[in-house]
A and B are shown apart, each in its own frame.
Chain A
Amino acid sequence: DTEVTQTPKHLVMGMTNKKSLKCEQHMGHRAMYWYKQKAKKPPELMFVYSYEKLSINESVPSRFSPECPNSSLLNLHLHALQPEDSALYLCASSLWDRGRDEQYFGPGTRLTVT
């Protein structure tokens, strides 16, 4: 199994809703990532979990709350989002045993905030 899966594929939510994005990998990777990508822009790193601990938070607003329940799962909890948060949210994972390795991305969740 060499893929990262993300659910849902599409999500529409109002500004007062609470929703969660899910990411799963079964490659034995020990680092997992959340990225945000706006149209015609490169992916921007949001959070990194290494060995199930939050290792990087790129000054993301608190309305985004990550969670890593175990080494295979990564969630992103969303609350009180703004329309400008509409974007493609990408999850990625990497082996993280040599310190320098490639990240493998999931297909993304297309989020629309109304």
Chain B
Amino acid sequence: DQQVKQNSPSLSVQEGRISILNCDYTNSMFDYFLWYKKYPAEGPTFLISISSIKDKNEDGRFTVFLNKSAKHLSLHIVPSQPGDSAVYFCAASAPAGAQKLVFGQGTRLTINP
């Protein structure tokens, strides 16, 4: 039972354009969501998070949008840069067991020059 899903295994975007990565979840108890970026042979790097009391959180080039009714979140990267090429994981947690992050399968983002 995959509670957090990233349906696009890969995404290719031109440098300078917007990258949009999507994530869906099924567990309505999830109320805290995070995005991580992972380069090969490195650990995941925290990017941005959002609580379910908000529908948008912004940090520099990164914005996360949360649509609770659709159980959907997205990460927007504007403008995309070559260094953004990596695998992106979304993760979620619920109040009970808040330390347990449930990760999606990841989306490999490639930024083309």
Contact status of A31 and B43, CB under 8 A, knowing A42-B104, A102-B49 = no
Q: Flag whether A8 is at the interface (Cβ < 8 A).
A: no
Interchain CB contact under 8 A, B43 and A106 = yes
Q: Flag whether A114 is at the interface (Cβ < 8 A).
A: no
Interchain CB contact under 8 A, B103 and A43 = yes
Of B11-19, B61-69, B74-82, B92-100, the segment with at least 4 beta carbons within 8 Å of chain A is B92-100
The answer for the CA separation of A43 and B87 in the assembled complex, in Å, is: 12
Interchain CB contact under 8 A, A48 and B104 = no
The answer for the CA separation of A55 and B100 in the assembled complex, in Å, is: 11
B44's partner among A31, A55, A90 (CB-CB below 8 A) is: A90
Q: Flag whether B25 is at the interface (Cβ < 8 A).
A: no
The answer for the CA separation of A6 and B100 in the assembled complex, in Å, is: 21
In the complex, the chain A residue whose C-beta lies closest to that of B43 is A105
Q: Flag whether A73 is at the interface (Cβ < 8 A).
A: no
B99's partner among A41, A55, A106, A110 (CB-CB below 8 A) is: A55
Report A58-114 residues with CB < 8 Å from chain B CB: 58, 90, 92, 94, 96, 99-100, 102-108, 110
Chain A interface, DSSP helix/strand/loop, else mixed: strand
Specify which chain B residues have a CB less than 8 angstroms from the CB of A103 in the assembled complex.
34, 46, 101
Specify which chain B residues have a CB less than 8 angstroms from the CB of A105 in the assembled complex.
36, 43-46
CB distance from B96 to the nearest CB of A (A): 11
The answer for the CA separation of A102 and B93 in the assembled complex, in Å, is: 10
Which residue, of B46, B97, B106, has the highest number of chain A Cβ atoms within 10 A?
A: B46
The answer for the CA separation of A6 and B43 in the assembled complex, in Å, is: 10
Contact with B along A47-58 (1 / 0, CB 8 A): 010100001101
Query: Contact residues of B with A, CB < 8 Å?
Result: 32, 34, 36, 41-46, 49, 51, 89, 93, 97-101, 103-106
Query: Contact residues of A with B, CB < 8 Å?
Result: 4, 6, 31, 33, 40-45, 48, 50, 55-56, 58, 90, 92, 94, 96, 99-100, 102-108, 110
